[in-house]
Chain A
Amino acid sequence: MRDSKSAGVVTPQYVQIDKPLQLKSGLELASYHLVYETYGQLNTARSNAVLICHALSGNHHVAGVYADKEKSFGWWDNMVGPGKPIDTNRFFVIGMNNLGGCHGSTGPASIDTRTGKHYGASFPVVTVEDWVETQAQLTEHLGIAQFAAIVGGSLGGMQALQWTLDYPEKVRHALVIAAAAKLTAQNIAFNDVARQAIMTDQEFYGGNYYAYDTLPRRGLRLARMLGHITYLSDDSMAAKFGRSLRNEELSFGFDVEFEIESYLRYQGDKFADLFDANSYLLMTKALDYFNPADAYAGDLSAAFRVAKADYLILSFTSDWRFSPERSREIVKALLDNKMNVSYAEITSSHGHDSFLMETEYYHQLVRAYMDNIST
């Protein structure tokens, strides 16, 4: 059933950007490349483009499948495709791997052409604002003057918000899902524990582990396990695993006993094989630094004064990592500015991960909103 509405076979594309990127940190990246995918057709008026911004561990492979890899569906294949809520029969959808990532765009694991070595620890810290700038470069390359919509969940939602502040004329609609205008202390704390797990791994070598032909797998695994706990809810974990044991009896030892332990270790192992630890560090830092109100003495409403887009803000009741309260802060700032905004607080037991789930009501809301966007 999934295949019938999939975006079909897709091929990643690359673009080399030689315009130096001035980073928020003050550093400069002389050149870089970006990997992206597109779904659907850009119309002749070039007015139906939709950018999907990915979250911490996402990438450019949003929808569809790779020809040489069975079941290699994009991470948001349930949302993006022909006839799906973000309908590729109407919209030209773009997914891009963020700078600093590890799926094809320039990142710490890339070779720095100036030295012939991996960037490693020398790769600069990038921010949400920096990402928006790189996405704007890709947009220019593709000849798109204005997006019909920019969509993102979690860290992706932050990018959608930032777009409307940095390029108010270039975004008609922003769909900001399970996001926040800034992280709370608790949220930053989780990120730092994840970073500490990676950086204290003996195989980390100050971020230059590539040179030692090794990986800080244990650290990245722990970081992912911790993150995963925070993306689920107590209820969803209880429903999925409860106190189920792998074997019938307690072993009175420290090996895997509970199903939740087994699950988390599996998820951690899988992730440690696929993701670059340095990219993980960068992504969590970008999350921590995001705070558009910072430049306005903490006044988020003032930050949105420049915005012109219409907004859809969505949150999920059981999401405690990016709680509905954070979304309501965004809504409040938009209401203060008399922006077109709609907000739904979706009942869901899946925690932060809800934004990736194929829940009927959630998808109906997105579909209803997208259907009303003219192209």
Chain B
Amino acid sequence: MHELTMNDTTEPSTIALRPDFAAIAEWIKPGAKVLDLGCGDGSLLRYLRDTRHVFGYGVEIDDDNLLNCFRNGVNAIQYDLESGLSSFESDSFDYVILSQTLQAMRHTEGIIQEMLRVGKEGIVSFPNFGYWRNRMQVISGRMPVSKALPYHWYDTPNIHLCTLGDFEALCRQCNAHILERRVMSNDHPVQFLPNLMGMLAFYRFERKG
């Protein structure tokens, strides 16, 4: 393959300000092969390319996002994740990333299984529904609206929200062995009562056995 000849259009430094990207990047070995599912405008992939020198693809269904991926000069494939990852061979990536997309998917269990098949490791991040402010809003009788969950119940794409506990139960069910977990709140790491105090959760996992 030719060396990447794409011109830079966005300052990497502005992207580096996104702590959720930095949290994921810390887990990625330099030069790895990465598949980013629901890659949005491609900025995570671009960030990983610039900071970790990864080779990878983004998968994205939305037209506007895809166009921005092209502008960002990252490889982007317009596929529907809901129909699986049949275009990707088993064990063909070092990491398969699902960044803040899990909660918007219909086939949640299916995508975790596919991540385990295609990647040596999976990385998932999602907004923690168990965050105390979310709980407070539910107790007060309303569906939560927050920085991490910026939608109303009637216009949200998030159809499968979960807590840390829920996700870990799903991992057990899917034979996914959790290697590492990170929990953040307002861009800071959370150690104490993560399922209550954490806004965003990050998991790194692999196939069991």
Hey, which bits of chain A sit against chain B, CB under 8 A?
172, 308-310, 328, 331-332, 335-336, 338-345, 347, 361, 364-365, 368-369, 371-374
Contact B66 A344, beta carbon cutoff 8 Å: yes
Q: Is the CB of A365 within 8 A of B67?
A: yes
| Complex: A309 Cα to B1 Cα, angstroms | 7
Report Cα–Cα, A86/B171, bound state, in Å: 48
Q: Nearest A residue to B59 by beta-carbon distance? A: A343
Give Cα distance in the complex from A77 to B205, angstroms: 51
What is the CA–CA distance of A172 and B4 in the complex, to the nearest angstrom?
10
Min CB gap A181→B, angstroms: 14
Q: How far is the CA of A347 from the CA of B33 in the complex (A)?
A: 30
In the assembled complex, which residues on chain B have CB atoms less than 8 Å from the CB atom of A345?
78
Tell me whether chain A's interface is mostly helix, strand or loop, or mixed: mixed
Whether B2 pairs with A308 at a CB distance below 8 angstroms is: yes
**Are A338 and B33 neighbours in the complex by a CB distance under 8 Å?**
yes
| Cα–Cα distance between A218 and B57 once the two chains are bound (Å) | 50
Instruction: State whether A309 touches B2 (Cβ < 8 A).
Output: yes
Residues of B contacting A310 in the complex (Cβ-Cβ under 8 angstroms):
1-2, 5
Determine if B70 is an interface residue (Cβ-Cβ < 8 Å): yes
B33, B63, B77: the one contacting A342 at CB < 8 Å is: B77
Q: Are B69 and A342 in contact (CB under 8 A)?
A: yes
* Interchain CA distance A332-B87 in the complex, whole Å: 5
Q: Is the CB of A308 within 8 A of B77?
A: no
Q: What's the Cα separation between A332 and B1 when bound, in Å?
A: 17
Q: Which residues of B are at the interface with A, using a C-beta cutoff of 8 A?
A: 1-2, 4-7, 33, 55, 57, 63, 66-67, 69-71, 73, 75-79, 87-89, 92
**Residue pair B66, A335 in contact (C-beta under 8 Å):** no
B80 to chain A: closest residue by CB: A345
* Across-interface contacts of B7 in A (CB, < 8 A): 371-372, 374
Bound CA–CA A361/B5 (angstroms): 24
Residue with the highest number of chain B CB atoms closer than 10 Å, among A331, A338, A369: A338
- Inter-chain CA distance A75–B121, complex, in Å, is 49
Please tell me which one of the listed residues A309, A338, A340, A368 contacts residue B67 in the complex, with CB atoms under 8 A apart.
Answer: A368
Output the least CB separation between B83 and chain A (Å): 11
Interfacial chain A residues near B70, Cβ < 8 Å: 342, 344, 365, 368-369, 372
Smallest distance from the beta carbon of A91 to chain B beta carbons, Å? 14
Q: Could you write out 17 A-B pairs with CB less than 8 Å apart?
A: A172-B5, A308-B2, A328-B87, A335-B87, A335-B88, A335-B89, A336-B92, A340-B4, A342-B75, A342-B76, A342-B77, A344-B66, A361-B67, A364-B67, A368-B71, A372-B6, A372-B70
